[in-house]
């Protein structure tokens, strides 16, 4: 328990560390809010004093006028400083969250892939967006309410004691009751809210699954059943939603009733004190005389005094949410970056790549073992095998997305760890089955690997990838905007864009992981021809289902369950009559 | 938001009663300053302590009565809002399952789930706040103004002008605030989208050393979000100080004029204090509203997003028709489908298929193969020509009838969390023996038999299975349907050639009495079909047997790899 609290404290102090980087917002913001709040609290006392100067037949108008001017000045200054203070503090919280988000984003691109792939995409996105929002809300509310709340508290107490110590003591003793009540409600709320969010998650889970499966549900006539399932969760949501909504709605009226009763008590006690405040009365004798204006001020304070208590309790809840959100973010940003790799410069051309009894595992269970094969400069290496046999893992190791866990991987005659990761990656052009397009124009997407390419170069690359016809049907040609997930394009078209991207960079070596899996055979043939031009004398690694595309490879590596079961040229493998031959026959 | 109120069914009474109770509570609240004034002018002035205590007790008592009303309001408002949310969610969910699939695909499942979860919750929250607090503020403000007129008729303009001024400020700020908040929300969406895009592209970004560029782009998105957020909060921060300044300005005027009246004896001190109290109440009411601005603006934009989905058209079911056993099972006459663009996604389809016949469909990428599959199960409705199933236009069948005639095994296999058995039972067949039989045919039994067989658990969307395994399970489910027309839309595309060939062979054997439409990228898969349809760019390039097409269809020859390697037998 103590440890948890300590950890929470360290998270909050860390957030404050980020916030303090923006001192130009923090310090003046706090100062303005404090000054503004304090000034606004003078208004009730001054109003009370003005009321006292208004007496039937004996009003001193110059005194009233003076108070009026002072009140007006106080309120105007307070309004302006509270406003600017608030703006500065909200700016502070947004800037702080921006910094933290930036750090998180940088991490997304610098952590080892194995780390990132432990989290689902949804998980990472929640950390970036929803948790970021929680953090900025909590930070803003935290700083604002805590500073304004504490100032209100102190200032009110001081003002009240200056006016009348006895009534002030009464108010100070009574008001915390309201705080206790609202804290108790807030505690209960957390339970109901937790239940509500569990139900919410259930609902989203069902909806996500069943809406993405709507085709199946519709064609199997299961929509009604699914609606019933949904209705059941929906009923649960109604129950938990009602109790959490109502629980949240209790805070206001309950704290108001406590407040109103305090108000009534202050009115009674204040009234009694005024009666006893005649010259020589008992109240005057104990130094606690009270005027009408004083009562008016006390009533105003009694109305406002509960607010800081409530604010402070609600802030603790906000801060807790913010702290746990921050912890989830820091969890990622605290992890060590992928090392940059060695410093040996990558020579051109790379003389070859060789696996020597290499092994690799994603977890404790060994996945790939005894991988041995060599690719000499200029050779075409094909990786074939059933789904899940480890072909893509080989690619991941060559690109240093993952690191071998045993044996050696030789790059240009040295262990691959001696070279910088980026240098190794830049030596390759890579096209994956699962293509990645980003939101931007077709042109931007093709030119991703070479942002300064000329329009002519881009056009040539697109032609080579057989995109010219497709692009000419687009409304704005190369400048047509495509969305991030490229929903409007077919898988094949997406792959062709990714291929054009590689054509443009004309890399030293090439990796094609099912690069044309979604492209029809005819287009594939044409693109292959273009690849052949590009490949002339370049080392390449090709993963393919369609065996016809790799039969001219210098080496065909046949994999199964993380092992190499046979390798050789097409002719050698056909002669051997093993698994490769079986696959060939199936493809017929 | 107003448009969504029709879903208030069953909760209308609560939605009307809630603000009424709140208004009663507000009126009680407005009486308190009058009692204070009476206490000052009579009890305190006459030094009558019993009366002071009595009046104080009256105030406390009234507050308790007020509490009763406000608790009822809170409960009813919560009920109405949560009920509204649940009704919307239910209606939206069933709407989504009837939605035109083209629209649904365009929106994407993620967005649709968001409408159901976040957006409904926000609309619900905003509605609750509206019932609970938004309606209270104008009542208190107007009531406060009216009461101050009753107390001091000659000073009527102070309360009224303060109230009016504060309300104008409120409206103006709210109005501008809503648009600034939605601008901020858009920037936040950008951040979210860009994050998602980046996570998907990890490998490519690293391969092309694009980290720096991504970071720069993200920085820009962050900065513009930050600017929009500060702009929005500058407005929402304005309300409280503005209300305070306006009300206190009124207090100053009141003190000056009221002081004079007290001097003349036309106003009592108690009344002056009551007037100040009323102004303060108006102020507090306005400040409460200010804190609601964010919630309300979020609710409004969420409601707009929900309505946009409701406005999308639903697919209609037919009135029913009786299948003709003698007519061809599948008959397409000049059928075309267009997604709304100039070119047809697929056009000029003329196909006739009888019981026991197999149609193979092959084509280039984006040739309209999947659109053809969609036409056969009425996911898409032919925009020209007609699709006839067992002698009737496909549009005439009810959903149920059509389902008993045609079954589709899609390229993207869709499994649901539960067990393998539950997934298979969706077909309407619960017989474990038949299940095992079809699993064997689809070569799926081999990978679940060493787990827990039919009771092997399936996690969300079947993610505990590989793509090929999911396809095989989905195929087994389609086979269990036993409908006379079976459409395989690239249903084995994730399998390697060896497994695919085995699966297809056993499927052919079991479907001898059906009309099978087998759509594939792979020439080997469809070459044994009775008829083969060759598609390219939505147009029919060839239709005939394997031999015929080899002779007269250039594209088919290329697709089957018979041009360059004719002698080599690839």
Please check whether residues A397 and A359 belong to one and the same domain: yes
Query: Mapped to the 3 state alphabet, what secondary structure does A257-281 carry?
Result: HHHHHHHHHHHHHHHHHHHCCCCCC
B565 band by pLDDT with thresholds 50, 70 and 90: very low
pLDDT, mean of residues A142-161: 87
Contacts of B162 in chain A (CB under 8 A): none
Q: Does B500 touch chain A (CB under 8 A)?
A: yes
Residue A483 has pLDDT above 80, yes or no: no
Nearest to B159 by CA among B240, B244, B246, B238: B246
A-B CB pairs within 8 A amount to 456
CATH of residue A362: 3.40.50.300
The answer to whether position B190 is within a domain reads yes
The answer to whether position B213 is within a domain reads yes
pLDDT, mean of residues A57-72: 86
CA angle, A573 then A361 then B453, to 5°: 80
CATH of residue B298: 1.20.1560.10
Distance CA(A324)–CA(A5), nearest Å, equals 12
Chain A (413-432) residues lying within 8 Å, Cβ to Cβ, of chain B: 422, 425-426, 428, 430, 432
Give the pLDDT confidence score for residue B166 in this predicted structure.
78
Residue A542 has pLDDT above 80, yes or no: yes
Please check whether residues B292 and B379 belong to one and the same domain: no
What is the value of ipTM here, to two decimals?
A: 0.83
Residue A3 has pLDDT above 70, yes or no: no
Residue B135 has pLDDT above 80, yes or no: no
Q: Does A118 touch chain B (CB under 8 A)?
A: no
Residue A388 has pLDDT above 90, yes or no: no
Please check whether residues B277 and B378 belong to one and the same domain: no
Please check whether residues A440 and A564 belong to one and the same domain: yes
Total residue count of chain B as it appears in this document? 570
Distance CA(A122)–CA(A127), nearest Å, equals 9
B342 band by pLDDT with thresholds 50, 70 and 90: low
Instruction: Among A129, A257, A523, select the one facing B63 at the smallest CB separation.
Output: A257
Nearest to B381 by CA among B91, B19, B101, B148: B101
Please check whether residues B100 and B201 belong to one and the same domain: yes
Residue B65 has pLDDT above 60, yes or no: yes
Please check whether residues A321 and A363 belong to one and the same domain: no
Please check whether residues B36 and B89 belong to one and the same domain: yes
Give the pLDDT confidence score for residue A233 in this predicted structure.
93
The answer to whether position A461 is within a domain reads yes
Please check whether residues A443 and A325 belong to one and the same domain: no
Residues A326 and A135: beta-carbon distance below 8 Å = yes
Distance CA(A575)–CA(A451), nearest Å, equals 47
Q: How far apart are the first and last CA of chain B?
A: 63
CB contact under 8 A, B501 and A586: yes
Total residue count of chain A as it appears in this document? 588
Q: Does B411 touch chain A (CB under 8 A)?
A: no
The domain boundary, picked from A304, A336, A368, lies at: A336
Contacts of B87 in chain A (CB under 8 A): none
CA distance A6 to chain B (A): 31
Distances from the Cα of A584 to the Cα of A415, A548, A579, B363, B487, angstroms: 35, 9, 9, 22, 27
CB contact under 8 A, A87 and B101: no
CB contact under 8 A, B71 and A71: no
pLDDT, mean of residues B149-175: 84
Residue A98 burial by Cβ neighbours in a 10 Å radius (0-12, 13-18, 19+): buried
CATH of residue B471: 3.40.50.300
Containing structural domain, residue B482 = 330-559
Give the pLDDT confidence score for residue B313 in this predicted structure.
85
Please check whether residues A319 and A383 belong to one and the same domain: no
CB contact under 8 A, A387 and B495: yes
Question: What value does the mean pLDDT of chain B take?
Answer: 86
Chain A (173-202) residues lying within 8 Å, Cβ to Cβ, of chain B: 200
Give the pLDDT confidence score for residue B564 in this predicted structure.
43
* Domain count for chain A: 2
List for chain A the helix, strand, coil content (%; round to 5).
65, 10, 20
Distances from the Cα of A450 to the Cα of A372, A443, A500, A527, B438, angstroms: 34, 11, 11, 20, 51
Please check whether residues B83 and B174 belong to one and the same domain: yes
Contacts of B249 in chain A (CB under 8 A): 72, 75
Please state which of the ranges A108-112, B15-19, B137-141 shows the lowest mean pLDDT: B137-141
Distances from the Cα of B555 to the Cα of A308, A431, A485, A516, B346, angstroms: 78, 26, 30, 18, 17
Residue B128 has pLDDT above 80, yes or no: yes
The answer to whether position B315 is within a domain reads no
A2 band by pLDDT with thresholds 50, 70 and 90: low
- Residue B309, token pair as written in the block: 């989905």
The domain boundary, picked from A303, A336, A369, lies at: A336
Instruction: Among B52, B93, B498, select the one facing A272 at the smallest CB separation.
Output: B52
Containing structural domain, residue A110 = 1-164+312-336
- Residue A535, token pair as written in the block: 């490949």
Q: Across the beta sheet with B539-544, what order do the strands follow?
A: B406-409, B485-489, B515-520, B358-363, B531-536, B539-544
The answer to whether position A60 is within a domain reads yes
Q: Which of B58, B120, B195 to mutate to test the interface with A (most CBs of A within 10 A)?
A: B195
Distance CA(A63)–CA(A50), nearest Å, equals 7
Q: Does B377 touch chain A (CB under 8 A)?
A: yes
pLDDT, mean of residues A347-363: 88
CB contact under 8 A, B269 and A439: no
pLDDT, mean of residues A356-371: 86
Please state which of the ranges A164-173, A304-313, B330-339 shows the lowest mean pLDDT: A304-313
CA distance B334 to chain A (A): 24
Distances from the Cα of B37 to the Cα of A46, A264, A272, A367, B145, angstroms: 19, 13, 15, 85, 16
* Domain count for chain B: 2
Give the pLDDT confidence score for residue A487 in this predicted structure.
61
The DSSP bridge pattern shows strands A406-411 and A352-360 to be antiparallel
pLDDT digits (tens, 9 = 90+) for B543-557: 999 999 988 888 888
Q: Residue A390: CB partners within 8 Å, gap ≥ 6?
A: A367, A368, A559, A561, A562, A563
Share of chain A above pLDDT 90, in %: 29
Give the pLDDT confidence score for residue A96 in this predicted structure.
94
The domain boundary, picked from B247, B281, B310, lies at: B310
pLDDT, mean of residues A408-414: 92
Please state which of the ranges A477-481, B151-155, B292-296, B449-453 shows the lowest mean pLDDT: B292-296
Distances from the Cα of B316 to the Cα of A318, B177, B279, B381, angstroms: 48, 41, 59, 10
pLDDT, mean of residues A211-217: 83
CA distance B46 to chain A (A): 9
Q: What is the residue whose two structure tokens read 């289902």?
A: A545
Please state which of the ranges A430-434, B45-49, B429-433 shows the lowest mean pLDDT: A430-434
Give the pLDDT confidence score for residue A485 in this predicted structure.
63
Question: What value does the mean pLDDT of chain A take?
Answer: 86
What 3-state DSSP class applies to A447? helix
Please check whether residues B167 and B61 belong to one and the same domain: yes
- Residue A215, token pair as written in the block: 């085709």
What 3-state DSSP class applies to A358? strand
pLDDT digits (tens, 9 = 90+) for A275-285: 888 877 888 77
CA distance B327 to chain A (A): 23
Please check whether residues B361 and B286 belong to one and the same domain: no
Distance CA(B25)–CA(B182), nearest Å, equals 34
pLDDT digits (tens, 9 = 90+) for A504-514: 988 889 998 88
CA angle, B418 then B421 then B427, to 5°: 105
Instruction: Among B105, B427, B497, select the one facing A583 at the smallest CB separation.
Output: B497
pLDDT, mean of residues A32-61: 87
Query: Cα A47 vs. chain centroid, distance in angstroms?
Result: 49
Residue A183 has pLDDT above 80, yes or no: no
The answer to whether position B321 is within a domain reads no
Nearest to B474 by CA among B485, B455, B488: B488
Give the pLDDT confidence score for residue B90 in this predicted structure.
95
Q: Does B272 touch chain A (CB under 8 A)?
A: yes
Q: Does A42 touch chain B (CB under 8 A)?
A: no
The answer to whether position A259 is within a domain reads no
The answer to whether position B499 is within a domain reads yes
Chain B (341-360) residues lying within 8 Å, Cβ to Cβ, of chain A: 343
Helix (H) / strand (E) containing A428: strand A428-432
This prediction has a pTM of 0.77
Please check whether residues B342 and B245 belong to one and the same domain: no
The answer to whether position B34 is within a domain reads yes
CB contact under 8 A, A129 and B188: yes
The answer to whether position A440 is within a domain reads yes
Q: Does B219 touch chain A (CB under 8 A)?
A: yes
- Residue B536, token pair as written in the block: 């390219």
Give the pLDDT confidence score for residue B567 in this predicted structure.
34
CB contact under 8 A, B230 and A58: no
Share of chain A above pLDDT 70, in %: 97
Please check whether residues B354 and B267 belong to one and the same domain: no
- Residue B281, token pair as written in the block: 């109440």
Residue A489: closest C-alpha in chain B: B366
pLDDT, mean of residues B512-518: 90
- Residue B313, token pair as written in the block: 């058209």
The answer to whether position B467 is within a domain reads yes
pLDDT, mean of residues B4-31: 90
The answer to whether position A176 is within a domain reads no
DSSP category for residue A366: -
pLDDT, mean of residues B134-155: 84
CATH of residue A18: 1.20.1560.10
Give the pLDDT confidence score for residue A4 in this predicted structure.
65
The answer to whether position B565 is within a domain reads no
Residue B267: closest C-alpha in chain A: A56
Question: What are the E-state strand segments in B420-463?
Answer: 457-458
Residues A545 and A532: beta-carbon distance below 8 Å = no
């Amino acid at each position: 328990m103590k440890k948890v609290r300590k950890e929470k404290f360290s998270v909050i102090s860390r957030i404050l560390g980020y916030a303090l980087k923006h001192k130009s917002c923090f310090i003046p913001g706090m100062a303005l809010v404090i000054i503004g709040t304090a000034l606004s609290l003078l208004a009730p006392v001054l109003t009370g004093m003005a009321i006292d100067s208004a007496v039937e037949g004996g009003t001193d108008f110059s005194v009233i006028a003076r108070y009026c001017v002072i009140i007006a000045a106080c309120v105007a200054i307070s309004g302006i400083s509270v406003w600017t203070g608030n703006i500065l503090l909200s700016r502070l919280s947004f800037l702080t969250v921006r910094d933290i988000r930036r750090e998180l984003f940088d991490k997304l691109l610098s952590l080892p892939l194995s780390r990132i792939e432990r989290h689902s995409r949804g998980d990472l996105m929640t950390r970036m967006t929803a948790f970021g929002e929680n953090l900025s809300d909590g930070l803003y509310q935290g700083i604002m309410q805590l500073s304004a709340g504490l100032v209100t508290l102190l200032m009110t107490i001081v003002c009240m004691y200056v006016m009348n110590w006895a009534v002030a003591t009464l108010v100070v003793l009574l008001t915390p009751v309201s705080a206790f009540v609202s804290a108790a409600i807030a505690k209960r709320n957390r339970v109901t809210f937790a239940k509500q969010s569990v139900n919410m998650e259930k609902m989203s889970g069902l909806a996500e699954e069943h809406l993405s499966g709507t085709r199946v549900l519709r064609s199997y006539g299961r929509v009604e059943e699914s609606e019933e399932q949904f209705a059941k969760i929906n009923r649960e949501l109604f129950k938990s939603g009602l109790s959490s909504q109502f629980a949240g709605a209790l805070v206001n009226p309950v704290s108001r009733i406590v407040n109103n009763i305090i108000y009534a008590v202050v009115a009674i006690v204040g009234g009694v004190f005024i009666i006893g405040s005649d010259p020589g009365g008992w109240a005057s004798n104990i130094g606690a005389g009270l005027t009408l204006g004083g009562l008016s001020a006390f009533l105003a304070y009694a109305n406002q005094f509960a607010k800081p208590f409530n604010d402070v309790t609600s802030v603790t809840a906000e801060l807790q949410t913010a702290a746990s959100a921050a912890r989830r973010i820091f969890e990622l940003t605290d992890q060590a970056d992928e090392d940059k790799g060695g410093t040996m410069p990558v020579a051109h051309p790379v003389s070859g790549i060789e696996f020597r009894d290499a092994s690799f595992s994603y977890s404790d269970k060994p996945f790939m073992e005894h991988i041995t094969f060599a690719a000499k400069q200029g050779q075409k290496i094909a990786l074939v095998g059933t789904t899940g046999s480890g072909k893509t893992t080989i690619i991941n190791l060559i690109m240093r997305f993952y690191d071998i866990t045993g044996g050696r991987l030789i790059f240009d005659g040295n262990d691959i760890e001696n070279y910088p990761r980026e240098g190794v990656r830049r030596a390759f052009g890579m096209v994956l089955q699962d293509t990645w397009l980003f939101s931007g124009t077709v042109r931007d997407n093709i030119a991703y690997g070479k942002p300064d390419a000329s329009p002519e170069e881009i056009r040539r690359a697109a032609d080579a990838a057989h995109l010219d016809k497709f692009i000419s049907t687009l409304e704005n040609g190369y400048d047509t905007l495509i969305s991030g997930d490229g929903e409007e394009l077919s898988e094949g078209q997406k792959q062709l864009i990714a291929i054009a991207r590689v054509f443009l960079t004309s890399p030293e070596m090439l990796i094609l992981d099912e690069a044309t899996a979604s492209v029809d055979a005819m287009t594939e043939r044409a693109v292959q021809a273009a690849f052949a031009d590009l490949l002339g004398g370049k080392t390449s690694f090709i993963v393919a289902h369609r065996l016809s595309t790799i039969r001219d490879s210098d080496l065909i590596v046949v994999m199964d369950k993380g092992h190499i079961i046979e390798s050789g040229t097409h002719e050698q493998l056909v002669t051997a009559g093993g698994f490769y031959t079986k696959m060939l026959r199936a493809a017929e | 938001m107003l448009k969504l109120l029709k879903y208030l069914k069953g909760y209308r009474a609560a939605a009307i009663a809630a603000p009424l109770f709140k208004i009663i509570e507000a009126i009680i609240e407005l009486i308190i300053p009058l009692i204070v004034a009476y206490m000052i002018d009579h009890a305190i002035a006459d030094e009558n302590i019993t009366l002071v205590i009595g009046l104080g007790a009256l105030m406390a008592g009234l507050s308790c009565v007020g509490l009763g009303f406000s608790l009822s309001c809170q409960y009813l408002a919560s009920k109405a809002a949560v009920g509204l949310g649940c009704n919307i969610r239910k209606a939206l969910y069933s709407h989504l399952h009837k939605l035109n699939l083209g629209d649904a695909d365009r929106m994407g499942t993620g967005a649709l789930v968001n409408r159901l979860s976040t957006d409904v919750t926000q609309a619900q929250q905003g509605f609750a706040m509206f019932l609970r607090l938004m309606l209270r503020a104008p009542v208190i403000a107007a009531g406060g103004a009216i009461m101050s007129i009753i107390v001091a008729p000659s000073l009527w303009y102070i309360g009224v002008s303060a109230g009016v001024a504060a309300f104008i400020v409120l409206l103006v700020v709210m109005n501008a605030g809503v648009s600034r908040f939605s601008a901020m929300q858009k920037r936040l969406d950008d951040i979210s989208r860009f994050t998602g895009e980046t996570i998907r592209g990890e490998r490519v970004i690293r391969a092309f050393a694009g980290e720096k560029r991504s970071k720069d782009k993200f920085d820009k998105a962050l900065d513009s979000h930050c600017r929009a957020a500060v702009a929005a909060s500058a407005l929402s921060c304005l309300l409280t100080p503005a209300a305070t300044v306006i009300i206190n300005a009124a207090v100053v005027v009141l003190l000056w004029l009221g002081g004079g009246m007290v001097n003349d004896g036309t106003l009592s001190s108690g009344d002056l204090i009551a007037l100040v109290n009323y102004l303060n109440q108006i102020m507090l009411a306005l400040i409460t509203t200010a804190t609601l601005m964010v919630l309300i603006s979020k609710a409004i934009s969420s409601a707009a997003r929900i309505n946009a989905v409701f406005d999308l058209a639903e697919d209609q079911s037919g009135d029913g028709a009786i299948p003709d056993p003698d007519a061809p099972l599948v008959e397409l006459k000049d059928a075309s489908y267009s997604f709304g663009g100039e070119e047809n996604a697929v056009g000029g389809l003329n196909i006739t298929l009888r019981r026991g016949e197999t149609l193979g469909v092959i084509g280039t990428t984006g040739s309209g193969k999947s659109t053809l599959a969609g036409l056969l199960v009425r996911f898409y409705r032919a925009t020209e020509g007609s699709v006839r199933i067992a002698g009737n236009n496909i549009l005439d069948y009810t959903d149920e009838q059509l389902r008993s005639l045609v079954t589709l095994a899609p390229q993207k296999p869709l499994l649901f969390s539960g067990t393998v058995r539950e997934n298979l039972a969706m077909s309407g067949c619960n017989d474990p023996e038949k299940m095992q039989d079809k699993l064997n045919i689809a070569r799926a039994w081999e990978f679940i038999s060493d787990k827990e067989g039919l009771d092997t658990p399936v996690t969300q969307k079947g993610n505990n299975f590989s793509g090929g395994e999911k396809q095989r399970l989905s195929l087994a489910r389609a086979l269990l349907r036993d409908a006379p027309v079976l459409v395989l839309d690239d249903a084995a595309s994730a399998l390697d050639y060896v497994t695919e060939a085995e699966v297809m062979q056993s499927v052919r054997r079991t479907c001898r009495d059906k009309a099978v439409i087998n759509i594939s990228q792979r020439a080997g898969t469809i070459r044994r079909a009775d008829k083969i349809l060759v598609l390219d760019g939505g147009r029919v390039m060839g239709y005939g047997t394997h031999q015929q097409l080899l002779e007269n269809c250039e594209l088919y020859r290329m697709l089957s790899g018979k041009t360059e390697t004719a002698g080599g037998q690839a």
